[in-house]
Amino acid sequence: MSTTNQQLRPLILDFGSNTFRMGWAMDDSPVIIAPAVYADIKDYLFESDVIDGLEDLFIEDESEEYLFGYEALKYQNILKIHEFKKENNYSVLLKYFHYYYQQLKIEPEFQYKQPLILLAPFFSSELEKNKLRQIFFGTFNFPAILFLPESQAILSTLQKTSGVIVNLGESHTYISSVFRGFTNIMARDSFPVLVMN
């Protein structure tokens, strides 16, 4: 497959509650898997009233306002770590996506020309989807977006149109049924994962 064809293939995005995944359609696995977290480089866990500017010694590169994924976790002992799903901070989500999109090393003439497939948990609201449409259409000008329910994405990888999906996530377990490509809204549920001591 030529570079041109590969770089114009649809991109699949999964903004999970704990993990972000991004990869090309038809590939066996995502190209990028990263924690869905960020840190503001000015949002310290502590303040030094002893030595002015002590906090600034800990950050290697202060040219960026935010650190994302594993880069943010490197500083979790001195910076507050934020999670997208808990905060719904779409302006930072935009920067987070752009940071990882640049890591795909897409040639300039093909940037933002790919159709996007966004894996959406069944509890995604229309408001959340509209915010994502604003980001990907309005800011980046991608040509097309498809919100694909996780259950349908799982079945399509198995080349099935009907089935019961049990998705064991990091914080919730989701159970849903799909019949001939349509999700049965009445036959789906979400259960929090609880750890008992």
pLDDT in tens, 76-115: 888 889 887 777 788 888 899 999 999 999 999 999 999 9
91: domain range? 32-103
162 neighbors 7 (Cβ within 8 angstroms): no
pLDDT of residue 157: 64
Q: Could you give the CA distance from residue 31 to residue 24 in angstroms, rounded to a whole number?
A: 7
Question: Does residue 63 form part of some domain?
Answer: yes
Question: Cα angle at 140 between 89 and 6, to 5 degrees?
Answer: 115
Residue 59, domain member (yes or no): yes
In a domain, 22, yes or no: no
Q: Which residue has the tokens 């840190």?
A: 39
136 lies in some domain: no
Q: Is position 119 within any domain?
A: no
For residue 116, being part of any structural domain is answered with no
Q: Which residues are bridge partners to 24 per DSSP?
A: 11
Confidence (pLDDT) at 68: 92
Give the helix/strand (H/E) hosting 149: strand 145-149
Residue 62: phi and psi, rounded to 5, are -100, 15
Angstrom CA distances, 48 to 59, 76, 144, 181, stand at 15, 17, 48, 57
Q: Does residue 54 fall inside a structural domain?
A: yes
pLDDT tens, N- to C-terminus, the chain (197 residues)? 455 578 889 998 988 778 889 999 888 888 999 998 999 888 877 765 555 555 555 565 566 789 899 998 988 888 889 887 777 788 888 899 999 999 999 999 999 999 998 887 655 678 888 888 998 998 999 999 988 876 666 666 667 778 777 777 666 677 777 777 777 666 666 667 665 55
Distance CA 100, CA 20 (A): 10
Nearest to 93 by CA among 117, 75, 113, 66: 66
Average pLDDT, whole number, for the chain? Answer: 79
Within its chain, how far is the Cα of 118 from the centroid?
9
Structurally, the chain folds into a number of domains equal to 1
- Asked whether residue 196 is domain-assigned, the answer is no
